[in-house]
Structure 1
């Protein structure tokens, strides 16, 4: 077999290496799809709770918006899987073409070898070939040549069998991948139809809420007043803490706690176990009222009814307060940092109490529209920080 033969081996090894990477990526897509499905279940439950309390509420729209986003992610994951399967099927088809070509060449070579072997196989011809040697060394070399020729024929036969097995394996692989692809295409079509239905519901809800502009503006003003009280509470506490720090030397414990807090950036668990970000940090347009911009010094997390709220890190409770329109608020100090948990109906801690990471500090409040929403903020001294840069997977 010439040097070109066996190129299929390198192609197969290269394909197997690529296939392993593709499988890893596909596994990641499947994991993301499963996470999307779990998130969809969470959001569905939140929608059910809000719509059961009051039809056509802003909280329901926020949850529905999130539901649409999760559905879009799900459809994207499915499309990604289909693309990987297309790539795998294409790779298998390429290998099959090469294997069929090599198999054809191997069979031709083997056929030629068998023909030559038949001509030289009778005893007279073999003896003539051996004893016509001009020296003993040449005789030995001819014996070795005959042995090697027999081994080559055997190897050729084994190569043909191996290529046939590889060929059968890749043909079977294509059948499996095509079945997977057909199932995914059906799933993609079904979830795409669901997405269209959700967007229609989303548009319908927006139109319904636009008719309630007067009420929405009134609710927004009340929320702004409550948030202003929360901002004042935080501002006063920060001022107290800075005056306290100016009077006394920074303790080693405080410095260590601050450094440890900073080291956990992007690693903190969410203060609630389920839910989604209903309003992000900074300035953003109101979801219904045109021309209205809302400022948020943290993030709002819409969650399930009676969800437990946890401290994201160890520290000391510096303030527990009730604000009309927002419910109870807990502020925890972590060295130079403060975390704020507003929108609680029950509080499990008291001012001055030391808390540990993930300790339950209260239970989230559900308003009269059935919306359960936590307002979460992080401050370093007087600076409000974006929690999405600190919480994991936000």
Structure 2
């Protein structure tokens, strides 16, 4: 039982160590990725700052920087907490090993005292020869041999414990150094975040002096998004109507088959009364969801898509959200975004976030829009410079759809992404995996 308990605690400790290593590695990978994205944004901002005229691009970059900076600070917080837990665990291990070492030394000292008092061969021989019989003499001789062996093992155990204690103390010191470095990095990030927020206020203040131009920029952007949303809704409505047409055609075919069967029975039994025609069922208006999930294939696709909510890949391999879903205000000017805007690298590929069927490819003011159906769900990818799919294509998850366009006037490279359940737009960010 004692052995099983020891094995259990060993496995538990090993699992905890592995979990810490995995969590620590994942957080470090996340921090490194954030650093890379922040550096790209910083380079882009410096390039735009050389232009004396303040633009929305500068504001969008600052907003993205602030969002990433806050994400990095949260990541650092998680790393600090993780290291704090590791420090507490290592501290407890050091105390436990120190207690074991003290106890081993105490027991070893007692053995040394005993051995000192019985160190002469004469005393050992007298201890053996004073036995009452041969069996007792044998046991006493064996005891003396085992005592010597145990004494040697105790000395080895003390040395092993001392080495393990030294390793744990060094590990504890390294963890404390890592935590100290992360705390300094965290403080530096907070200062940088404050500077970026001040820069954001300055840019907003400068933009407010040119509200006419700002309103025009926002108006142009909203008009483009309105065109995109209109085309998306047309594509979805077309799919719904096609599904309704197929359902009605199937109902008519079923009614015709039933009428033919009644006629056949009447002809086969001329003397019998004709089978009564069933009373027409009350018309039932199918919902969009029922129509779009009418076939087992689309029903399964919808279910699989829903089952991956929060884990779907991003439409670009690397990107930062520059404008969130829904209503936002810039210096009192309201904008309504039916999707999200994702800044990415020039020439970046756009990919499908799930398997499905391309329902439409449209050219809108010189850039392309691709709409993909996933059962009753639809995803839309706008502001593409080129496309590599056609209407009706069956596509797989992460399949390339085209490349993102770069705005010649602002130099911004971003994809506009929307997600619909039926004809209702939903926040895409809630469905995408955390990068």
TM-score, normalization: structure 2? 0.74
Partner SS, residue 248 of structure 1: helix
Counterparts of 1:251 and 1:82 in 2: how far apart (Å)?
51
The match for 1:160 among 135, 158, 161 is 158
8 Å Cα contact 1:52/1:370 also seen in 2: no
Comparing 46-55 and 308-317, the one that deviates more: 46-55
1:270 aligns with 2:295: no
Counterparts of 2:387 and 2:14 in 1: how far apart (Å)?
57
8 Å Cα contact 1:46/1:304 also seen in 2: no
Q: Sort the Cα spacing of 1:161 and 1:351 in 2 relative to 1 into closer, same or farther, 3 A.
A: closer
Give the total of aligned pairs.
382
Equivalence for 1:285: 328
The match for 1:379 among 401, 404, 420 is 420
Partner SS, residue 63 of structure 2: helix
Equivalence for 2:245: 247
Structure with more contact order per residue of length (Cα contacts < 8 Å, sep ≥ 6): 1
- What stretches of structure 1 of length at least 5 have no aligned partner? 1-8
- What is the CA deviation profile of residues 202-245 of structure 1, one whole-angstrom value per residue up to 9, with x for unaligned ones? 22222222222232223333333333333333333333322222
Cα displacement (A) at 1:201: 2.0
Counterparts of 1:134 and 1:352 in 2: how far apart (Å)?
102
1:309 aligns with 2:353: no
1:390 aligns with 2:431: yes
Partner SS, residue 147 of structure 2: helix
Partner SS, residue 381 of structure 2: strand
Q: CA RMSD in A?
A: 3.5
Counterparts of 1:14 and 1:342 in 2: how far apart (Å)?
50
Comparing 292-301 and 349-358, the one that deviates more: 349-358
Equivalence for 1:294: 335
The match for 1:169 among 167, 170, 180 is 167
Counterpart mapping for 1:331-342 below 5 A = 331-342=371-382
Counterpart mapping for 1:188-203 below 5 A = 188-203=186-201
Equivalence for 2:281: none
Counterparts of 2:157 and 2:395 in 1: how far apart (Å)?
70
Equivalence for 1:180: 178
Cα displacement (A) at 1:371: 2.6
8 Å Cα contact 1:50/1:371 also seen in 2: no
Counterparts of 2:41 and 2:206 in 1: how far apart (Å)?
21
Counterparts of 2:47 and 2:361 in 1: how far apart (Å)?
28
1:215 aligns with 2:187: no
Counterpart mapping for 1:20-39 below 5 A = 20-39=18-37
Counterparts of 1:306 and 1:17 in 2: how far apart (Å)?
44
Counterparts of 2:86 and 2:307 in 1: how far apart (Å)?
42
Q: Which structure has the greater CA radius of gyration?
A: 2
The match for 1:330 among 348, 352, 370 is 370
1:318 aligns with 2:318: no
Cα displacement (A) at 1:62: 1.8
- What is the CA deviation profile of residues 114-156 of structure 1, one whole-angstrom value per residue up to 9, with x for unaligned ones? 2222322323322322222223332233223322322332222
Cα displacement (A) at 1:186: 4.5
8 Å Cα contact 2:204/2:331 also seen in 1: no
Counterparts of 2:425 and 2:100 in 1: how far apart (Å)?
67
Comparing 251-260 and 326-335, the one that deviates more: 251-260
Counterparts of 1:269 and 1:160 in 2: how far apart (Å)?
54
- What is the CA deviation profile of residues 95-118 of structure 1, one whole-angstrom value per residue up to 9, with x for unaligned ones? 444444443443333233222223
TM-score, normalization: structure 1? 0.81
